[in-house]
Amino acid sequence: MSERKAVAAVRAALARGDLLSAYDLARQRTDDAQGPALDYLEVLTLARLGDHERALRLYEAYGLGGRNDVDALSLRARLLKDAGFAGRDGGDQAMLLEACRLYASVYDRTADAYPAINAATLALIVGSADLAREMAQAAVRHADADPEPGYYTLATLAEARLVMGDMAGARAALAAALAAADADVGARSTTVLQLRRLIEVIGGGAEAQDLLTLIRPPSVVTYRGHIFLGDPQTEAALAARVRAALVAERVGFAYGSLAAGSDILIAEQLLAHRAELHIVLPVTEADFLAQSVQPAGGRWMDRYAACREAATSVTFASSMSHVGGQGQFAYGSRVAMGMARLRARHLNGEALQLAIVEEAAGTGAQTRSDLRAWHDTGGRSVVIETGPLARPQMPRPTMTSEVTRGAYGLMFTDFPGFARLDERFLPLFQQEVMARAAACLNRHASSVLHKNTWGDALYVVYETVLSGAEAALDLCDTFKDVDPRQLGLRQGAAMRIALHFGPTYFDIDPVTERPNFYGSEVSRAARIEPVTPPGSVYVTEPFAAILAMEPAHDFICDYVGQVELPKGYGVFPLYRLRRTRA
């Protein structure tokens, strides 16, 4: 791919609001696809993903500040602005002021509307009313001078009017921006964040909230429902209600399974609605089909194949076979729900749940359980209730086991360079590294279900995704105090830590006669640790998704890309875990 085509592909993904694909494309450098345009887009995508720390490092590494164009010059101010808003207690005012001044200096240098409007909004936020008015007036002049204003010109005009207190003018400009030919999802997602920050300062009541409603990007839906055999009359009535919900909620993206009945019916309506369909399957495809599609008959198999072919992506929450019960399907549902929330976060939009529910279904039914899981974490649902549905005879799994199963947090760590340590330093390693690790794990003893060690490695099982995240980052902090010179090392001492959350077996190991957690998801977690940079915590996409389903925490997962795992395990999307605030 040439640089020109690579740049076009990244910009197209940004326009769709597909930040993960945009980042992957920006990183796929070849001899033919190199250059400052891709450097800029990689940093910009990281900024939109919310990873301003890594974006700032790359900005400096790529020398983007040495370029003389308004986009590159303004990007550093944007990164400082994002870092400022990420500060505690409503933002780091000093950093926001620094970003404001940098935007103003870029405007002085380039006379461009983009740095002008950003300087205006930040000036108002930090209390510099005169500068805010001056920069807003400059942005209005630029907008008025544009003979063929597009989305960004009109959105800039809307922000400027808002800074100047002209709510009616802001609404008119915003409506015109949405009607522009170049209005896209990515652009709207950045505008809604800018307006949200501004409205928090100026207030404006219901009128201001109407602006956010007007500009907000399409919603992200996670969908589910009961498996049923179906008939033309029932399906037509349900399809009409699903279509009405998709229009009313302005749905543009969807994450869910593809079982016969409700799932496939909703998926078909999503595709007809031109929404992005992202399929998330809980087990291997063959077992999923055998358990959730084939029992309803051949026509559902055909419809499954059509939806799968038209889907934007297909993700397997687990690579496991079905081993009986509903646990794996519940896990897959939570991963799909979390992926919807991650996508909504990237879009600065809303995630909601859409469900078809049989009125007579008991509280123990999987769809009812999914509704509770969504509601318990603050989610909003659109429920389409229906009368009795004809259900297929569901098959028994081909193989079952009486061994206890559950979904747990799985952590693997190791210490790079351990194998090369001088024998004389091994006792010090036990004292300085492993003893610190033990003390840290003991502080989290109430949530540790299992722990084991060999050499420099740790394998720890946690009760919840939150307890695993907390302990992993505490381990990172613990090793910051290790003096590498004591271990005969020239460079810093840091653990590589990998986290996954998935279904495992729990049993007594016949050899050690001690409790053990094992299964294919444990192997998956172990493969991530070798590709994790020292001093970092990498997590799987299911871990990031399940974490997104937990309310009230200060962790965030930054996307690091599609990463090839060792021993031919495959290529998987990985994230870096960090706390939202230092």
- Which two structure tokens, joined as six digits, stand for 368? 């009812």
- Paired strand residues for 537: 497
CA 457 vs. chain centroid, Å, equals 29
* Cβ–Cβ < 8 Å for 269, 242: yes
What percentage of residues in the chain have a pLDDT greater than 70?
Answer: 95
pLDDT score at 470 = 96
* Cβ–Cβ < 8 Å for 95, 84: yes
More reliable by pLDDT, 552 or 360: 552
Does the pLDDT of residue 363 top 80, yes or no? no
Quick: pLDDT tens for 13-57.
999 999 999 999 999 877 766 788 999 999 999 999 999 999 999
What percentage of residues in the chain have a pLDDT greater than 90?
Answer: 74
Using alpha carbons, select from 504, 289, 473, 484 the residue that is nearest to residue 406. 504
38-to-6, 11, 20, 152, 182 alpha-carbon distances in Å: 8, 10, 15, 21, 21
Report CA Rg, the chain.
26
Q: What is the mean pLDDT of residues 123-136?
A: 95
Contacts for 561 with CB less than 8 Å, ≥ 6 apart = 23, 24, 27, 573, 574
pLDDT score at 41 = 96
Which DSSP string corresponds to 289-319?
HHHHTGGG-HHHHHHHHHHHHH-SEEEES--
> Quick one: pLDDT band at residue 479, thresholds 50, 70, 90?
confident
Quick: pLDDT tens for 176-227.
999 999 999 999 999 999 999 999 888 878 898 999 999 999 999 999 999 9
What domains, with CATH codes, occur in the chain?
219-386 (3.40.50.450), 404-579 (3.30.70.1230)
Using alpha carbons, select from 381, 376, 380 the residue that is nearest to residue 551. 376
- Which two structure tokens, joined as six digits, stand for 109? 């240098």
Strands 276-281 and 313-316: parallel
217-to-7, 31, 186, 213, 346 alpha-carbon distances in Å: 23, 36, 8, 9, 11
pTM given for the model: 0.92
pLDDT score at 414 = 87
Burial class (CB in 10 A: 0-12, 13-18, 19+), 479: buried
Mean residue pLDDT of the chain comes to 91
* Cβ–Cβ < 8 Å for 394, 438: no
pLDDT score at 400 = 65
Greatest extent of the chain over all pairs of C-alpha atoms, in Å? 79
pLDDT score at 294 = 94
Quick: pLDDT tens for 270-316.
999 999 999 999 999 999 999 999 999 999 999 999 999 999 999 99
